[in-house]
Amino acid sequence: MASIRMLPALAFCAALAALAGCDRSDGTPSHAPSARAGFGDPTAPAVRDVDEAMFRTPSKNIYCALTRSAVRCDIGEKKWTLPAKAADCDFDWGNGLYLDHGAAGLTCAGDTLLNSSTETLEYGTAIRSGTVRCTSESTGLRCEDEKTTRGFTMAVARYSLF
C-alpha cells in the first residue's frame, strides 16, 4: 500500500530529473546558478522586484518612496554638513535625497516621508522597481539607477551623490 502512495512522488522526481538537463529559451542550462534564485555570490543581497513601494530601514530613521524611475528617501536624524540652500528652494532643504531618471540630489520638499511606511527593507536585502534599486545595509542605504549608474548613499553621519 505504501508503494502506491509513493508513485505520484516518484513520478514528480523523475520529471524533475528529466528536466534538469534542459536549456532555457536563452540557451543557458536550466541548472545554471542564478542570483535571483539565491545562488551565486553569497554576499550579494536578495533582491525583490516591485512596481512601486514605500519602505523604511530597520533603524526607522530613513523612509523611502520607490517607483520605476525614481526614489526619494527622507532621513530623521542626520549629522550632515549641507551645502547652501538652493536659491530656487522655497521649502525644507536637505532632509533627504532623491534619484529621478538618473539625476541625484538633495530634496527640497514641503512634506516628509518620515513615518509613512511600516514595510522594512531588512539589512542585507534590496528592492528594485524598473531600473532603480535600493540596498539596505547596517552601514546605510544605497539607491542606484542600474541603467545610468547614478545614485546616492545615506546614513546618519554622511551622504554621497554619485
70 in a structural domain: yes
14 pLDDT higher than 80:
no
d(CA 141, CA 156): 10
120 in a structural domain: yes
**The pLDDT value given to residue 42:** 52
Q: Quick one: cell of 57? A: 530601514
**The pLDDT value given to residue 35:** 37
28 in a structural domain: no
Q: What is the mean pLDDT of residues 54-70?
A: 97
d(CA 63, CA 84): 24
d(CA 78, CA 155): 7
**CA separation, residue 18 to residues 15, 114, 153 (Å):** 5, 52, 46
d(CA 61, CA 151): 19
Beta bridge partners of 98: 72, 105
**The pLDDT value given to residue 46:** 85
Question: What is the torsional sign of CA 26, 27, 30, 36?
Answer: negative
**The pLDDT value given to residue 27:** 41
d(CA 137, CA 143): 11
- Print the domain residue range for 55: 46-161
Q: Write the pLDDT tens digit of every residue in 98-140.
A: 999 999 999 999 999 999 999 999 999 999 999 999 999 999 9
H or E element, residue 54: strand 53-56
Task: Report percent pLDDT > 70 for the chain.
Answer: 73
Domains contained in the chain, number: 1
**The pLDDT value given to residue 101:** 92
89 in a structural domain: yes
From first CA to last CA, the distance across the chain in angstroms is: 66
6 in a structural domain: no
**DSSP-derived 3-state class of residue 20:** coil
57 in a structural domain: yes
53 in a structural domain: yes
Task: State if pTM tops 0.75.
Answer: no
155 in a structural domain: yes
d(CA 154, CA 161): 9
